[in-house]
Structure 1
Amino acid sequence: MSSSSSLVTLKSCYSVRPIEPTWCGRLPLSEWDQIGIITHVPTIYFYRPSQTWLSTTIATTLKDSLSKVLVPFYPLAGRLQWNDKNNGRFDLECNALGAQFIEAQSSLTLTDISDFSPSSDYYRYLIPRIDYTLPINDIPLVIVQLTSFKCGGVSISLLVSHAVADGQSALHFTSEWARLARGEPIKTMPFVDRNALHVGESQSPLLPQCSNSEREFNEPPFLLGNTDNIEERKKKTTVAIIKVSKTQVEKLRKTANESWGKPSNGRGYTRYETVTGHVWRTASKARGHGNDQPTALGVCVDWRCRVDPNLPKGYFGNATLDVVATSLAGDLMSKPLGYASSRIREAIEKVNNEYVRLGMEYFKKHEDLTKFQDLHAIGSDKGPFYGNPNLGVVSWLTLPIYGLDFGWGKEVYMGPGTHELDGDSLLLPGPDNDGSLLVAICLQEAHMDAFKRHFHQDIV
């Protein structure tokens, strides 16, 4: 599940199982677990431990604490199982087979890779690559690679199956893993009972028709004249991480809030709505869209506190859904920034208790979920959302992504790992807690320079 090169040599690979017996059996997954991204989401952390921390000690600490944290987080020690109907639905077999732990050695130093760019050649050797042609029940849900550098620094890359945990749940797992590694008790136990999703359904009966949901999940637009975007998705992509200073963020918010009427609910547009609106219209400019080109923006919304009752604290699973904002490229590019932000606000505000439950009912009615699963990472032609003329911007602005301390101090750099899908992008808080943001975006190589140019020029 990984590659070797002259830069990185694989030393060993282990299965790390829960240190104590855990519940075994088949855990049903919700509809929200089985749509969208069902592959693994990568993150990577770089550290400079003191010389008292030998690489063998670090590896032992990580493996021992991982075996402990997999006891309460036992779903992550299991395996996915396709159901017998071959219709894109699967269950989670809690069988304590464990996580995969890889140890590697690099000939580089952290100084050699000081820019930590995810587009650098060495990056792909620090993050395991998963062979999704293997049977799904053979693929661990958690894969960790510890790479030791010549200077004594280390990187820890972590891949967590999105079919079992969304961003908030995955970070809940890693933060508790780090607490156990430091010798501290778990702070918040995971709540793994999927029945929590159905509490309150009788008080909020579902409507017999799901027309709104059906419109929401229709195919997104393609480039004018095309019937799909398969050729667009085949084009070579590159990744850039662009810093947006606090001053620039404030400029964008001021521009958006003053340029397009009064925002709904009387609330000013958020950092996400303004910066994402800027990314959306910049992407249309960089891609050279005509005025009549339809374009869609995917927005991932956490609905833990948008349903009645709210999900329990520590709910472990997927409690996010994607909504889509749409526009003509000409409107995005010619109208003020507030217009793009208003389209995003309108999409987000749809997500309420009724919308979530309607969506759940809508997917239950579909016998085959395959077309709703984003399988680009394994070379499938299904799931056409990403790729020109569309993009998705996922917010990590409120997630606790920094300060992951396993006992040898906080990271010197944290990144989202590799992204290869045209239009796949993230918003992250700046690592210095200074109000800045980072835009991590993947675009076709032919469009990236124009994107960077327009992105900075249009912040006025």
Structure 2
Amino acid sequence: MEPEKRSRVKVHSLLSVVSSKPIEPGKTLKLSSLDHAMGLHSVHVVFYYESNPFDEGPHSSDMDNLRIALSGLLNEYPKITGRLTRSVDGNWEVKCNDAGMRIVRAEVSATIDEFLRSADAVEERDLTVWEDMPEDPNIWSPFRIQINNFRCGGLAIGLSCSHMHADLTSATLFFKSWTEFHRGQPLIHHPIFHLPATDCRSLQNNHTESTELYAAKSSVESKPVKMGMATLRFPDSSIKKYLSRIHSNSANATPFDLLVALFWSSIARLKKPTKGIKHSLSFGVDLRKHSNKSVPFGYFGNASSFSSLSLDAQELLGSDGIGNVSKHVHRHMAGLDLFDTRKEERAKFAPPFRMYGPELTCINMEHMIDPEGRSMMFDTMFKEGEKPVHVSYHLGNVEGEGLILIMPSPEEGLGRIVRVMLPEELIDKLLKDEVILDLQPTLLLTGRR
């Protein structure tokens, strides 16, 4: 039996940060039906920096420098400093108060390079707080930040929150706003907590396909399976080369289309599919940049819609290969109609269920590329020019067939990062897949040197 690995991350203290201005009495923020649906999941983001951006010399306190800017920023984010409570209709809402958010401090007995090269996804979890919401969350802090000091002087900042409060985009934009506030820059995306009535329809899950998919998810009980994770960074040159290779079959394919096709077909091949059996992939698409009816980018909450694409084994693994699957994915994504004009009723919302599963689920984060082609998650600089060397995303309580997360790379261009979570017995096989390795990815956080 393999001995249990000891984590190099040691937590040593806990404190709170409150907003610098008092919250107006009686202020509440209601959670939407989509927020409620995400209640079983949590969001975790880790930003790695080569040096401590809050250390400004021997006579300064890094925690004081951290808290001053964060305290000022929290004035803009009452949803973060508040606490969950039940409204009169039985739904969750945030009672805005001055309870603040928790800050955890930890030491890591490794350099950042060593950690990214040798840690596995289980150890990386220790860089953020994982805590289930208690039955009575009135005094529970749904947002937490963990400050991890590395042996090299580097820093990893882990942000955790309940998925009911915020999605991956909201968490990232909050962090980006923190870096802007710290540098004394105006916020690019001020948070919006209440959408105009004309936009509320975009978040109510009334689109027929989405509604049917949500209903199907809520009725399936997936068996807990031990999951493994890996992160692969694909260079711009490899993506361009492969898109050129499949151009004759899929002329309009994007990096997202290509990588979905690549991983979906590889995972299907590992499962030894039976002829005639349909394979389904669920897509999570952010509404903030979808078409000209998009939700404002600063919307703070959940703003995703889910859809499903099914292909049989012959289509997934046929002679036309990745190009054919890319074409199917592109048509599906281009044909999505995610909006509905019906308004949400304020009846008691249904209980939450697993949105990430039970079928294989793919989340598209390409909307985080700004108009200049930069990756917003890597444009998070506490000091000008000092970008994070890596950004990791985790989603809690993922079960079933697994999760594929496709996001921008720090490299400008078509480079992408793929974070994949699968049943453990499939991860090692996937990382040896010749088609994937042909794109020359860099492996991160797999526990392999």
TM-score class, shorter: 0.7 to 0.9
User: Could you say what the CA RMSD is over the residues aligned between the two structures, in angstroms?
Assistant: 3.4
Q: SS where residue 10 of structure 2 aligns?
A: strand
Deviation at 1:6, TM superposition (A): 6.8
CA distance in 2, matches of 1:80, 1:294: 41
1:370 aligned residue: 351
- Which amino acid counterpart does residue 407 of structure 2 have in structure 1? L
- Which amino acid counterpart does residue 414 of structure 1 have in structure 2? V
- Which amino acid counterpart does residue 350 of structure 2 have in structure 1? L
Query: Is the Cα contact below 8 Å between 2:407 and 2:418 reproduced in 1?
Result: yes
Cα 1:276/1:117, change in 2 over 3 Å? farther
- The structure 2 residue matched to 1:386, chosen from 334, 347, 357, is 357
Deviation at 1:365, TM superposition (A): 8.9
Deviation at 1:166, TM superposition (A): 2.6
Query: Is the Cα contact below 8 Å between 2:43 and 2:396 reproduced in 1?
Result: no
CA distance in 2, matches of 1:164, 1:71: 17
2:287 aligned residue: 303
* Post-superposition CA distance 1:18-44 (Å, at most 9, x none): 111234422122223222465331111
Q: SS where residue 138 of structure 2 aligns?
A: helix
Q: SS where residue 174 of structure 1 aligns?
A: helix
1:35 aligned residue: 37
Deviation at 1:438, TM superposition (A): 1.9
CA distance in 2, matches of 1:34, 1:158: 21
Q: SS where residue 144 of structure 2 aligns?
A: strand
Query: Is the Cα contact below 8 Å between 2:262 and 2:436 reproduced in 1?
Result: no
- Which amino acid counterpart does residue 198 of structure 2 have in structure 1? H
Report the identity percentage.
20
> TM-score, normalization: structure 1?
0.79
- Compare 93-102 and 46-55 and name the one that shifted more: 46-55
Query: Is the Cα contact below 8 Å between 2:33 and 2:349 reproduced in 1?
Result: no
Q: SS where residue 243 of structure 2 aligns?
A: helix
Query: Is the Cα contact below 8 Å between 1:237 and 1:444 reproduced in 2?
Result: yes
Query: Is the Cα contact below 8 Å between 1:123 and 1:418 reproduced in 2?
Result: no
- The structure 2 residue matched to 1:81, chosen from 78, 85, 88, is 85
2:95 aligned residue: 93
Deviation at 1:451, TM superposition (A): 1.9
* Post-superposition CA distance 1:134-186 (Å, at most 9, x none): 53334323210012223322221111333222333222211111112223343
Cα 1:212/1:96, change in 2 over 3 Å? same
CA distance in 2, matches of 1:55, 1:344: 56
- Which amino acid counterpart does residue 386 of structure 1 have in structure 2? G
Cα 1:212/1:441, change in 2 over 3 Å? closer
CA distance in 2, matches of 1:211, 1:181: 44
- Which amino acid counterpart does residue 47 of structure 1 have in structure 2? Y
Deviation at 1:281, TM superposition (A): 1.3
- The structure 2 residue matched to 1:348, chosen from 315, 320, 333, is 333
- Which amino acid counterpart does residue 445 of structure 1 have in structure 2? E
- The structure 2 residue matched to 1:336, chosen from 321, 337, 340, is 321
Deviation at 1:211, TM superposition (A): 4.9
1:450 aligns with 2:429: yes
- Compare 47-56 and 247-256 and name the one that shifted more: 47-56
Q: SS where residue 172 of structure 2 aligns?
A: helix
Gap regions ≥5 residues in structure 2: 1-5, 369-375, 440-449
CA distance in 2, matches of 1:419, 1:279: 21
Deviation at 1:336, TM superposition (A): 3.2
CA distance in 2, matches of 1:423, 1:116: 23
Deviation at 1:444, TM superposition (A): 1.4
Gap regions ≥5 residues in structure 1: 222-226, 375-382
* Post-superposition CA distance 1:215-249 (Å, at most 9, x none): 3334269xxxxx96633xx2322111123233332
Query: Is the Cα contact below 8 Å between 1:285 and 1:454 reproduced in 2?
Result: no
Deviation at 1:272, TM superposition (A): 0.9
Q: SS where residue 44 of structure 1 aligns?
A: strand
Cα 1:169/1:279, change in 2 over 3 Å? same
Aligned length: 418
CA distance in 2, matches of 1:407, 1:48: 12
Cα 1:220/1:40, change in 2 over 3 Å? closer
1:377 aligned residue: none
> TM-score, normalization: structure 2?
0.80
* Post-superposition CA distance 1:244-266 (Å, at most 9, x none): 23333234434554226xx7xxx
CA distance in 1, matches of 2:378, 2:268: 32
Deviation at 1:403, TM superposition (A): 3.3
Query: Is the Cα contact below 8 Å between 2:108 and 2:148 reproduced in 1?
Result: yes
Cα 1:54/1:39, change in 2 over 3 Å? farther
Query: Is the Cα contact below 8 Å between 2:8 and 2:109 reproduced in 1?
Result: yes
1:245 aligned residue: 235
Q: Which structure 2 residues correspond to residues 9-408 of structure 1 after superposition, within 5 A?
A: 9-23=10-24, 24-36=26-38, 39-49=41-51, 52-53=56-57, 57-83=61-87, 89-115=91-117, 117-119=119-121, 122-194=123-195, 196-199=196-199, 211-219=208-216, 230-231=222-223, 234-259=224-249, 268-306=252-290, 310-312=294-296, 314-334=298-318, 336-352=321-337, 355-357=338-340, 364=345, 367-370=348-351, 373-374=353-354, 386-387=357-358, 390-399=359-368, 400-407=376-383
Deviation at 1:440, TM superposition (A): 1.1
Cα 1:357/1:95, change in 2 over 3 Å? farther
Query: Is the Cα contact below 8 Å between 1:6 and 1:107 reproduced in 2?
Result: no
Cα 1:339/1:64, change in 2 over 3 Å? same
CA distance in 2, matches of 1:110, 1:69: 28
CA distance in 1, matches of 2:146, 2:280: 36
CA distance in 1, matches of 2:292, 2:412: 33
Q: SS where residue 357 of structure 1 aligns?
A: coil
2:445 aligned residue: none
CA distance in 1, matches of 2:207, 2:415: 40
Cα 1:364/1:330, change in 2 over 3 Å? farther
CA distance in 2, matches of 1:308, 1:110: 41
Q: SS where residue 27 of structure 1 aligns?
A: strand
CA distance in 2, matches of 1:316, 1:419: 19
Deviation at 1:401, TM superposition (A): 0.9
Deviation at 1:326, TM superposition (A): 1.8
Query: Is the Cα contact below 8 Å between 2:35 and 2:302 reproduced in 1?
Result: yes
